[in-house]
Amino acid sequence: MKKLVALVLSAVMFASFACGCSSKGEDKKFIVGFDSEFPPMGFIDDSGNYVGFDLELAAEVAKRLDMEFVAQPIAWDSKDTELASGNIDCIWNGFTITGREDQYTWSEPYMANSQVVVVRSDSGIAALEDLAGKSVCVQKDSSGLAAVEENPDLASTFAELVQVESYLNAMMELESGAVDAIVMDEIVARYELSNSDADLVVLNVSLAAEEYGVGFLLGNEELRDKVQNTLKEMKADGTLAKISEKWFEKDITIVK
């Protein structure tokens, strides 16, 4: 009987130890939510891999924090649900702080951006007033949509405002002639145009200036601080500049 009790106790202790190890391992995952159709910040390459500037930054942060990096694609208009449910630890994907300051616990800004207008080069559209009577496209729940909504005098001149799931969809709509213009992130627009044969141009106007940050669940200062301090280390040792130069041919980060 004593041997039986000892075996049972040993089994319970082993199971508790195993569960403890499992929980610890799960805690060491760094799950980053991102839009998989948002190049160059996060997207799927020709080999089916998740790649991008933000994902590379996040992977390096996870490595330095001794955490397992997990790139988790999400529907952009479901990002808040994903974060609140614990399916992801943060949103890191060209995520605009401006206008969302009180909705998340933010890292410090790491990049500046603007909302711009993209049109076909033969469209005859050269200024914002030329968008009157035109079909304008934005991504759902995006900063581009917010920029349009914050300019009601401009938006009221559009023939229609079309919302799509991703900016890659928007680009296809524009190229096909289904829409006349896109309001979108300048960084994404210029990257896409420089890496495609599409006959599109970015107008020399900005609807809104903004900054990118890493968004955590409101109140999660602990993880935010770890990530922020690691980004500062990467700035100091030149890693941040190296990754930026790989994707943009120069260092466009603003981490202090």
**69 pairs with which residues across the strands?**
30
Per-residue pLDDT of the chain (256 residues; tens, 9 = 90+): 444 444 444 444 444 434 433 333 446 999 999 999 899 999 999 999 999 999 999 999 999 999 999 999 999 889 999 999 999 999 999 999 988 999 999 999 999 999 999 999 999 999 999 999 999 999 998 999 999 999 999 999 999 999 998 888 999 999 999 999 999 999 999 998 888 888 999 999 999 999 999 999 999 999 999 999 999 999 999 999 999 999 999 999 999 9
**HEC assignment per residue over 61-112:** HHHHCCCEEEEEECCHHHHHHHHHHCCCCEECCCCECCCCCCCCEECCCCEE
Q: What is the pTM of this model?
A: 0.79
CA atoms within 13 A on the CB side of 158: 20
What is the per-residue pLDDT across 172-215, written as a single tens digit (0 to 9) for each?
999 999 999 999 999 999 998 888 888 999 999 999 999 999 99
Nearest to 247 by CA among 45, 20, 35, 27: 45
Q: What's the mean per-residue pLDDT of the chain?
A: 89
